Amino acid sequence: MANSAAGTLMIIDRLWERVEKQGPVCLGLDPTPELLPEGFSHRYQNMAQAYWAFNKAIVQATLDVVACYKLQIAHYEALGLAGLACYRDTLRHIRANKGIAIGDVKRGDIGSTAAHYAQAHFQGDFEADFLTLNPMLGSDAVAPFLHYVQSGEKGAFFLVRSSNPGAQEFQELPCSGKPLYMHVAGRVWAWGERFVGRCGYSAVGAVLGANPHVLTTVRKAFPQMFLLVPGYGAQGAGAQDVAPALQNRNGAVIVAARSILGAHKGKPDGAKNFADYAHQAVLTMRTEIQKCLS
């Protein structure tokens, strides 16, 4: 607590500074067996250990060009306990190297349960700097997470509108004159209003799919809301789709995973230099986005 009094930067200010210096790319560390270089996994006892070696190499090659990392925990849960050990180790590795790590867990449950989830993912084995969360259970269910945000050291991104086709079924439903996701966005802003950092953005932000209309609408209504934008690259969105999320080249991070982790695919030296290809793919993505902003 008393974070600003202590003079230390809030986590949202650290993220903002990283975007200023290194651009808005958020690298999704979402390995799959198919994304690993040819023959890579055979060198390890199991797939989880291969993921860990892969992640370490990717992080080392990209730490100075990305804003942050996002780990989709489902990719690790799918490998059971061994996968979650890799999740833990990757988070620790990023944070030990002064990187910023987002745990993409999208947890959401009633307050007494949420307190256990907050403990699980804001401290202990799976400690991340930011979490993605599901807001659908309302204010009392998110309070245990906001308790950690209050310290200044943690932040959260609530799912406001996803980037998949099914997002239209509920998130776009018209409720009292506006789509459901705008009700959610308003509530998310209210939750985070008191956690605005020096950078002018709140440590409580929103996950918004790379849809230009949605990004423009939410960006205009909530200019101090930091946005986490998935959908770039392999999921189909391009630089012009995500540009409306950014203001003065900041205020959002743009997620890409497959297009960067798999940048080595089809290259003769890809298996050997996969990490360099990932580094290069981040630079290319950064340039594509910056072109759309100037």
CA atoms 129, 134, 135, 141: torsion sign: negative
d(CA 93, CA 101): 10
Give yes or no for a contact between 79 and 51, defined as CB atoms under 8 angstroms apart. Answer: yes
d(CA 272, CA 239): 29
Q: What is the DSSP string of 40-90?
A: -GGGSSSHHHHHHHHHHHHHHHHTTT-SEEEEEHHHHHTTHHHHHHHHHHH
Q: Closest separation between CB of residue 47 and a second copy, Å?
A: 11
- Helix %, strand %, coil % of the chain (to 5): 50, 15, 30
**Could you give the count of Cα atoms lying within 13 Å of 160 in the half-sphere of its Cβ?**
32
d(CA 142, CA 28): 24
Q: Which is nearer to a second copy, 113 or 290 (CB)?
A: 113
DSSP-based three-state secondary structure for 236 = coil
Q: Which is nearer to a second copy, 73 or 245 (CB)?
A: 73
As beta bridge partners, residue 98 has: none
d(CA 217, CA 162): 14
Q: Which is nearer to a second copy, 261 or 275 (CB)?
A: 261
Q: Closest separation between CB of residue 115 and a second copy, Å?
A: 8
Q: Which is nearer to a second copy, 111 or 200 (CB)?
A: 111
Catalytic residues: 106
Tokens 């804001």 -> residue: 122
Task: List residues binding a second copy (CB under 8 A).
Answer: 72, 74-75, 77-81, 84-85, 88, 106-111, 113-114, 116-117, 119-121, 124-126, 134-142, 159, 162-171, 173-176, 180, 183-184, 187
Q: Which is nearer to a second copy, 159 or 256 (CB)?
A: 159
